[in-house]
Amino acid sequence: MKKGVSIIMGSKSDLPVMQKAENILKEFVVPCEIRALSAHRTPDLVREYAAGLGERGMGIVIAAAGMAAHLPGVVAGLTTAPVIGVPIESAGLGGLDALLSIVQMPPGIPVATVTVGGAKNAALLAVAMLAVADDQLADKLEEYRTTMRTAVQNADAELCKPAKGA
């Protein structure tokens, strides 16, 4: 069975950012589940959820949180599945608070941290991880890169057009 990706966020207020991760996973037809659970407000539910990841076929976790962003690290401590952390921007400290909370893991329990609001890259990293053992997915990722490269080349060609009257 193909492994899926779990997207978990500290609050439903993180959803507008995390929707970008879901969109990428849909584009690559990777099964995913999406939940809002908090390391601080619902710690028991986070533990229960993490314990069932394998049973539900979830191979990778994308965990997002803002402020004192402990969710990715806590989930990483509860599962051996790879965890990708997404710091969410908040008023006040602008996301640096969450970035430092997520990136600064103690040795032994890694969280692969993307930039503040980096939900799209988190999903692309999850796809790349799954593609290591899935040739079809690897081909799709190559196609994705080719499309991106073409878009950049087209934009460049547009800029390169000689100025009118030159």
What are the residues binding ligand RP5 (CB under 6 A)? 9-11, 13-14, 38, 65-67, 88, 90
Cβ proximity to ligand RP5: between 105 and 131 the closer is 105
Residue 34 CA to its chain's centroid (Å):
12
CB of 7 to ligand RP5, least distance (A): 12
Cβ proximity to ligand RP5: between 24 and 97 the closer is 97
- d(CA 107, CA 86) in angstroms, rounded, equals 19
Cβ proximity to ligand RP5: between 14 and 22 the closer is 14
CB of 10 to ligand RP5, least distance (A): 2
- d(CA 125, CA 62) in angstroms, rounded, equals 10
Strand order in the sheet with 58-66: 32-36, 4-9, 58-66, 83-88, 112-113
Burial 108-132 (b: 16+ CB within 10 A, else e): eeebbbbebbbbebbbbbbbebbbe
Cβ proximity to ligand RP5: between 15 and 81 the closer is 15
Cβ proximity to ligand RP5: between 17 and 127 the closer is 17
Q: Which residues pair with 147 in a beta bridge?
A: none
CB of 23 to ligand RP5, least distance (A): 19
CB of 13 to ligand RP5, least distance (A): 3
CB of 62 to ligand RP5, least distance (A): 13
CB neighbour list of residue 125: distance below 8 Å, 6 or more residues apart: 84, 112, 114
